Chain A
Amino acid sequence: MAELNIVEKVIALEAVELLKNLTPDQLSRIASIAREVKYPPGKTILDPNQSLDALYVIVDGAVEITRNGQVVLVARQYDVLGSWALFDDEPIAVTAKTVEDTQLLRIARDDFFDLLSDNMEIAASIFSTLVKRFRKLVEQQA
């Protein structure tokens, strides 16, 4: 698997629900802090006993998500793992483990906040997405 260039990273990031309101330029700034990581099969990415500090986007490969030992789904290309990790470090109640050679983009929370502090318009777009999502939830509850 070749190294990803910035355009390929942006294409991968366009799949992230949380970032869907961002323009390609803004995504390119996030892409510049997204680090490429490659894991062999059997590597645990999310652990219910450990706090989260990064979001992952699968670029290639597959990751099995289990809850209490039961397989919930197998995540593949452009699926996102730990999307709330950018705002909340609480562990989530699932385990994510690679089932084959897997290439991911990792966005660390600290880098993300540094980026937001210099790019208010990115923060505003993300707030907008969160508010829309929240509004949808409220409407579903009503």
Chain B
Amino acid sequence: MFDVRRGELTRTILMALYLMFVLFSYYILKNVSRAMFLNKFDVNKLPWLWILMAAIGGFIAYFYSRFAVKSSLTHAVAWTTALSVGSLLIIWWVLRFNFWWMLYVFNIWVSLFSIVLVSQGWLVAANVFNSREAKRLYGILGLGAIIGAGFGSYFTRVTVELVGTDNLLFVAALLVVLSYLAFRGVAARTEMPLATARAAKEPPPAFMFQDILTALGRYRHLQAIAAIIVITYMLEVTVDFQFSQVAKAAYPDKERLTAFLGSFSLWMVMVEFLLQFFLTPLMLSRIGVGGTLQIPAVTVGLASLATFWWPSLFSTGAARLTEESTRYTFHRTSMELLYLPLPAELKNRTKVFLDIFGDRLARGLGGLLLILLTSVLRFEVRYIALVALAMCLIGLVLTTKARREYVETVRRRLAMRRLDLEEIRISVQDKSTVTLLEQTVLSPSPRQAAYALSLLAEIQGYSLEPLLQKLAASSAPDLRAQVYEVARRSTYGELLDQALAEIRSARPGESSPSVKPAVAYALSVTPEDTDLASRLLEHPCPLVAEGVLEALAQRPDFAHALITREWLAGASTDPRPERRRLAAIAIGVRGSEDPGTLRRLLDDSDLRVAQAACRAAGVLKNRDYLEALIQRLADARLRSAAIDALASYGAGITGALSDLLVDERAPMASRRQAPRVLRLIPEQRSVDALLAALALPSLVIRSAVLRALNRLREVAPQLDYKAESLTQHILDDVRYYYRLSAALAPFRAHKNLKSATGLLAHTLEERLKHTLERLFRLLGLRYPPAEMHAAYLAVHHGGVQEYSTAIEFLDNILERDLKRFLLPLLDASGNFERGLEIFGIEAQTPEAAIRDLIGSDDTWLVACAMAAAAELGFRALIPEIRQASRNASDEVGAVGHAAVATLT
């Protein structure tokens, strides 16, 4: 029934247990808190509770997601567990005093429990399983969650009259602790360390209501989604209200009401289980997203009609049962699919907004409507049922519209090849999507057809064979390539003849994209793979042999037997570069007993051979090739391959790269590439090596180092960026900025670029700009990078308003010491002089400024300063110019000699 593969079983069971315990606990708390509330208050207070839940829940959810993005998942789970258990014990204790407000607090707390712990459980699952595993295994996790919900409901029913409603809070607390133990088990067995995963995938996008309204105005599909969400959750509270009113009347005793709600939840969970596992996939494949979305509206509408005719616990219970069970099954799955065709950026932004605020806003609106209906209009249950019926009719209209928009949007996205089924973690079985994909596969555009075929291959249980047979005869190589790829992955063996024909027709110089997939496919399905592979390795078309080698990369033993030393020796010394390139690829696949072979290929005069050799060295990670790869960094044509290869060595070579960075005898072209390699190795040792290089005098190296550190901070924020040492670098750069400003002051009026003095002024201005950029890059390593980047743009390019906002922001966020030095530097209102005073830098005459610059270690500034000294006739500087010329390169020395000649 479930496709659990080797190595996944323990992880999956523990993850399912984790979710089970969380849901077990939640279903106890949900029933207990509701029963206590209804027992204490009139049912008319329920809408007020929902409004409070909507308001407070929305804020807490938003702020939790902001906290979560900064915290690791392990920490977040530990903290929420500790807080949950602590809160439950406190709530249990305070409830004994019968404060009326405590029941509001308790119910709101339970709604937060569901927001935080349940969604956190699914986030852990998203980090434990990749999207392909998720499609196979989420069913088991869902089963665990449903069993947990069922246990919670059943346990509440059978134990409440024995232990009392209040004491069930202890059990809930114990279950939260058990869920944490299961989480620890998952964390210990997962490949991706959860300690480094974020507790929220992304920071909540900086959505503004204006942006969301603009998006809603622009996309009709989004309008339909938003309208369905609003009507669904308004209907939920309306139906829940009717049910609660009738249930309270039927069970005036607290324990009996709790037991009844527990029994009812149990029924609900069982129905949800049946619907989710058996009916939802069936309905989606039969009647599509639109039809499935209409089921809740139709069933709740019928139950509401029954309530109107015969208001009773049975009819309101039926409405509640159908509403919640279809919302958690048909509605939820269909809504996930409904988002699918939206552009990713828009989807992320609006989905987060609608998830955080949409349903709560709708519940709040529902609460307001119920206050109007019950407290103002004094409607009885049967008339409220009529309002619910009207909502169902509106829901039907909206889902019809949504279906139309969905199909249109999928069609458009498909045409643009922007539909990603792999990203979503549920299996797409929607009828209209599948039909559209099938039509696109047969369309005249080969690229669209190949894309649609790859999407169809993602759909679980879809029979691809007839399509593959048909498309293997396509005249489009792109499409045939996809056919072989899909057939290989699905182990469909009936295309061997077509694949062999494709290989036979390949000629030397062939570049068809279908050749290599045909080779990989043929080798994966033929029983005579050894014989076929050895024959194809000698095929006159190099692409075929390359396809063999790539296929062998997945089967190392086979590769060793097939690629012999003799073959390697022959190919690596072959006069034809194509054969030498194959030799390089083969070494990457099976290794080489003689490191000299790959070293020779790394030195090959043919670019493609040397590139393949770089890649092979990266695969083997043999330190014998390290020096050669580092040397290749200086060659622009091989640089990209060398960087990738070095990065694949991982943290073990950070020492060598650190040595390269500080080695002043190494070519600058190589040194400045070292940070590009280090930034691809997100380890603490990379950060340490880069931070050490920040003290180097070369501005070019420092810029490259900072860019690398900024990138690392983005991808690995959990690493330690040594705040104290950063503060020192920031202060050094602030001091440098003031010194440059003081040097520039006497020359600000020199705007003539065709003079040496003008060039000096221009150079100093550029240095100031770069120093400012460097400062903000450093700040981006200590404070939130995106916000620092925005502040930099506002300071550097922004208008008056943006500038003031940025200064105010920095004033709030920077720590006192940094603020004291940095803000005067940015302040345009005359505080700059205060900064100069702080560092003891005095105003300079032009001659003194040039003297200082000639004595600096900035080569280009020295050259400009010497030329400017000559132009301005500063004869007193001749000794400094002579001294600087002696220590300088030929080019700068020539400037010094010319300056001395002019001045004497």
**Inter-chain contact A7/B895, CB cutoff 8 Å:** yes
Question: Complex: how many Å from CA A130 to CA B756?
Answer: 27
Q: Which residue of A lies closest to B634 (CB)?
A: A118
The yes or no answer to B779 lying at the interface (CB within 8 A) is no
**Contacts between the two chains (Cβ within 8 Å), count:** 53
**Inter-chain contact B864/A5, CB cutoff 8 Å:** no
Determine which of B754, B759, B860, B898 lies in contact with A5 in the assembled complex, contact meaning CB atoms within 8 Å.
B898
**Inter-chain contact A24/B860, CB cutoff 8 Å:** yes
The yes or no answer to A139 lying at the interface (CB within 8 A) is no
With a cutoff of 8 Å between Cβ atoms, the chain A residues found around residue B755 in the complex are: 11
Q: Encode B739-765 as 1/0 by CB contact (under 8 A) with A.
A: 000000000000001111001001100
Q: Which residue of A lies closest to B766 (CB)?
A: A23
The yes or no answer to B891 lying at the interface (CB within 8 A) is yes
**Inter-chain contact B860/A11, CB cutoff 8 Å:** no
Chain A positions 1-58 with a Cβ under 8 Å from a chain B Cβ: 2-3, 5-8, 10-11, 14-15, 23-25, 28, 32
Determine which of A2, A14, A28, A118 lies in contact with B860 in the assembled complex, contact meaning CB atoms within 8 Å.
A28
Question: Complex: how many Å from CA A23 to CA B227?
Answer: 54
Q: Which residue of B lies closest to A24 (CB)?
A: B763
Chain A positions 104-138 with a Cβ under 8 Å from a chain B Cβ: 114, 117-118
Question: Complex: how many Å from CA A3 to CA B860?
Answer: 19
With a cutoff of 8 Å between Cβ atoms, the chain B residues found around residue A10 in the complex are: 759
Question: Complex: how many Å from CA A24 to CA B898?
Answer: 19
With a cutoff of 8 Å between Cβ atoms, the chain B residues found around residue A78 in the complex are: 754
**Inter-chain contact A14/B766, CB cutoff 8 Å:** no
**Inter-chain contact A25/B860, CB cutoff 8 Å:** yes
**Inter-chain contact B754/A6, CB cutoff 8 Å:** no
**Inter-chain contact B891/A5, CB cutoff 8 Å:** yes
The yes or no answer to B669 lying at the interface (CB within 8 A) is yes
Instruction: Classify the interface of chain A: helix, strand, loop or mixed.
Output: helix
The yes or no answer to B849 lying at the interface (CB within 8 A) is no
Q: Which residue of B lies closest to A23 (CB)?
A: B766
Determine which of A6, A14, A23, A114 lies in contact with B894 in the assembled complex, contact meaning CB atoms within 8 Å.
A6
Question: Complex: how many Å from CA A75 to CA B455?
Answer: 62
Q: Which residue of A lies closest to B668 (CB)?
A: A118
Chain B positions 866-896 with a Cβ under 8 Å from a chain A Cβ: 866-867, 891-892, 894-895
Q: Which residue of B lies closest to A116 (CB)?
A: B636
With a cutoff of 8 Å between Cβ atoms, the chain B residues found around residue A14 in the complex are: 753-754, 759, 762
**Inter-chain contact A24/B894, CB cutoff 8 Å:** no
With a cutoff of 8 Å between Cβ atoms, the chain B residues found around residue A5 in the complex are: 863, 867, 891, 894-895, 898
**Inter-chain contact A6/B892, CB cutoff 8 Å:** yes
With a cutoff of 8 Å between Cβ atoms, the chain A residues found around residue B892 in the complex are: 6
**Inter-chain contact A25/B891, CB cutoff 8 Å:** no
In the assembled complex, the CB of B752 is this many whole angstroms from the nearest CB of chain A, namely 10
A11 and B759 in contact (CB under 8 A), knowing A5-B898, A117-B636?
A: yes
Question: Complex: how many Å from CA A93 to CA B637?
Answer: 34
Q: Encode B281-298 as 1/0 by CB contact (under 8 A) with A.
A: 000000000000000000
A118 and B636 in contact (CB under 8 A), knowing A6-B863, A24-B766?
A: yes
Q: Which residue of B lies closest to A10 (CB)?
A: B759
- What interface size band does chain A fall in? 10 to 19
Q: Which residue of A lies closest to B764 (CB)?
A: A24
**Inter-chain contact A6/B895, CB cutoff 8 Å:** yes
Question: Complex: how many Å from CA A32 to CA B763?
Answer: 17
**Inter-chain contact A25/B669, CB cutoff 8 Å:** no
Question: Complex: how many Å from CA A14 to CA B761?
Answer: 14
Q: Which residue of B lies closest to A22 (CB)?
A: B766
A2 and B759 in contact (CB under 8 A), knowing A24-B864, A25-B860?
A: no
Determine which of A15, A32, A114 lies in contact with B754 in the assembled complex, contact meaning CB atoms within 8 Å.
A15
Question: Complex: how many Å from CA A10 to CA B755?
Answer: 10
In the assembled complex, the CB of A43 is this many whole angstroms from the nearest CB of chain B, namely 25
A7 and B754 in contact (CB under 8 A), knowing A24-B864, A25-B860?
A: no
Question: Complex: how many Å from CA A24 to CA B766?
Answer: 8
Q: Which residue of A lies closest to B889 (CB)?
A: A6
With a cutoff of 8 Å between Cβ atoms, the chain A residues found around residue B637 in the complex are: 117
Question: Complex: how many Å from CA A5 to CA B763?
Answer: 17
**Inter-chain contact B898/A2, CB cutoff 8 Å:** yes
With a cutoff of 8 Å between Cβ atoms, the chain A residues found around residue B860 in the complex are: 24-25, 28
With a cutoff of 8 Å between Cβ atoms, the chain B residues found around residue A8 in the complex are: 867, 898
Chain B positions 816-864 with a Cβ under 8 Å from a chain A Cβ: 860, 863-864
Question: Complex: how many Å from CA A114 to CA B636?
Answer: 8
**Inter-chain contact B636/A25, CB cutoff 8 Å:** no
In the assembled complex, the CB of A8 is this many whole angstroms from the nearest CB of chain B, namely 8
**Inter-chain contact A25/B756, CB cutoff 8 Å:** no
With a cutoff of 8 Å between Cβ atoms, the chain A residues found around residue B866 in the complex are: 7
Question: Complex: how many Å from CA A118 to CA B891?
Answer: 20
**Inter-chain contact B891/A6, CB cutoff 8 Å:** yes
**Inter-chain contact B763/A25, CB cutoff 8 Å:** yes
**Inter-chain contact A11/B895, CB cutoff 8 Å:** no
With a cutoff of 8 Å between Cβ atoms, the chain B residues found around residue A3 in the complex are: 894
Q: Which residue of A lies closest to B859 (CB)?
A: A28
Question: Complex: how many Å from CA A23 to CA B762?
Answer: 8
**Inter-chain contact A11/B894, CB cutoff 8 Å:** no
Question: Complex: how many Å from CA A24 to CA B894?
Answer: 18
A7 and B759 in contact (CB under 8 A), knowing A25-B766, A28-B860, A78-B754?
A: yes
Chain B positions 184-208 with a Cβ under 8 Å from a chain A Cβ: none
Determine which of A24, A114, A118 lies in contact with B759 in the assembled complex, contact meaning CB atoms within 8 Å.
A24
A11 and B763 in contact (CB under 8 A), knowing A6-B891, A24-B860, A28-B860?
A: no
Question: Complex: how many Å from CA A132 to CA B526?
Answer: 58
With a cutoff of 8 Å between Cβ atoms, the chain B residues found around residue A28 in the complex are: 860, 863
**Inter-chain contact A7/B756, CB cutoff 8 Å:** yes
In the assembled complex, the CB of B356 is this many whole angstroms from the nearest CB of chain A, namely 39
In the assembled complex, the CB of A141 is this many whole angstroms from the nearest CB of chain B, namely 28
Q: Which residue of A lies closest to B762 (CB)?
A: A24
Q: Encode A62-88 as 1/0 by CB contact (under 8 A) with B.
A: 000000000000000010000000000
Q: Which residue of A lies closest to B892 (CB)?
A: A6
**Inter-chain contact A118/B669, CB cutoff 8 Å:** yes
In the assembled complex, the CB of A15 is this many whole angstroms from the nearest CB of chain B, namely 7
**Inter-chain contact B754/A11, CB cutoff 8 Å:** yes
Q: Which residue of A lies closest to B864 (CB)?
A: A7
With a cutoff of 8 Å between Cβ atoms, the chain A residues found around residue B894 in the complex are: 3, 5-6
Question: Complex: how many Å from CA A8 to CA B766?
Answer: 18
Q: Encode B251-274 as 1/0 by CB contact (under 8 A) with A.
A: 000000000000000000000000
Q: Which residue of A lies closest to B770 (CB)?
A: A23
In the assembled complex, the CB of B706 is this many whole angstroms from the nearest CB of chain A, namely 14
In the assembled complex, the CB of B473 is this many whole angstroms from the nearest CB of chain A, namely 45
Q: Which residue of B lies closest to A6 (CB)?
A: B891
In the assembled complex, the CB of A100 is this many whole angstroms from the nearest CB of chain B, namely 20
The 5 closest A-B pairs by CB, nearest first: A117-B636, A7-B867, A24-B763, A23-B766, A5-B895
Contact surface of B with A, Cβ cutoff 8 Å: 636-637, 669, 753-756, 759, 762-763, 766, 860, 863-864, 866-867, 891-892, 894-895, 898
Q: Give me 9 A-to-B residue pairs in the complex whose CB atoms sit less than 8 angstroms apart, sorted by A's number.
A: A6-B895, A7-B867, A10-B759, A11-B754, A11-B755, A11-B759, A14-B753, A15-B754, A32-B891
Other 5 A-B pairs with CB < 8 A, given A6-B891, A25-B763, A118-B636: A5-B898, A14-B759, A24-B763, A28-B860, A118-B669
